Structure 1
């Protein structure tokens, strides 16, 4: 259990540093990634492409992180506040104008062999949209 909590903590520490290589090193080669309100993507390469796409439009930091794991350490959950800046328009979303946002989020993880084998991210998209639209009046 403690090893899993440490693994998830290192995952978010790498995220906060923008260390995509460090994050990817913690993932199983065939990691399943459930994108919030989207589909499932499989594989470390797909996850890397997702990180690059996201970093082009968003600058984010996870704060107030709480991590929980089951006794065997094969399942974990994280709850946090995502603080970010919407810096470049993401396809199909409102115009980016440098809007800041703070959004509660969570993720669920499967872990095996010391690697993350599944990441399922959740946040309230409507809350995020309301925050970034607050100056999108043109």
Structure 2
């Protein structure tokens, strides 16, 4: 897959809640700098982390609003709408930076307002 295909699939799988296939988009030695979860290295670490994601959210949508792709790099501005199992709603704008190598996400960094996520973040 080229960079555009990977980025398109990233959001499709997230919005389907198919977290196992979503993690498969990442390289085995991937690095993610996630604003809430911190620095994550390795596909298996990411897979273990995402296994608990459905327990946090009853619904989750991450809709791209603006996508810029240049070679192996992409920047996406999107909007997250989510609901926890306790009925709390989350609305947040997000900016993601991706580096895709050999058809896999090698690096991801995301930036968003963390306040809406306080309801689901560990205390």
With the length of structure 2 as denominator, give the TM-score of the two structures. 0.84
The aligned counterpart of 2:81 is 83
| Distance (whole Å) between structure 2 residues aligned to residue 14 and residue 115 of structure 1 | 14
The aligned counterpart of 1:74 is 72
| Distance (whole Å) between structure 2 residues aligned to residue 34 and residue 63 of structure 1 | 20
Gaps of 5+ in 1: 88-96, 133-138
| Distance (whole Å) between structure 2 residues aligned to residue 83 and residue 64 of structure 1 | 12
Instruction: Decide which structure has the larger Cα Rg and report it.
Output: 1
CA-atom RMSD in angstroms: 1.9
> Helix, strand or coil for the counterpart of 2:35?
coil
Equivalent residues in 2 for 1:114-129, closer than 5 Å: 114-129=103-118
Runs of 4+ in 1 over 6 A off after TM superposition: none
Higher helix share: 1
Q: CA deviation at 1:98?
A: 1.0
Q: CA deviation at 1:126?
A: 2.3
Question: Residues 41 and 99 from structure 1, CA distance in 2 versus in 1: closer, same or farther, beyond 3 angstroms?
Answer: same
With the length of structure 1 as denominator, give the TM-score of the two structures. 0.76
Gaps of 5+ in 2: none
The aligned counterpart of 1:49 is 48
Conserved 8 A contact 1:5-1:69: yes
2:91 to 96, 102, 124: 102
| Distance (whole Å) between structure 2 residues aligned to residue 68 and residue 42 of structure 1 | 25
| Distance (whole Å) between structure 1 residues aligned to residue 36 and residue 23 of structure 2 | 22
Q: 77-86 vs 119-128, which deviates more?
A: 119-128
The aligned counterpart of 1:14 is 13
Question: Residues 6 and 66 from structure 1, CA distance in 2 versus in 1: closer, same or farther, beyond 3 angstroms?
Answer: farther
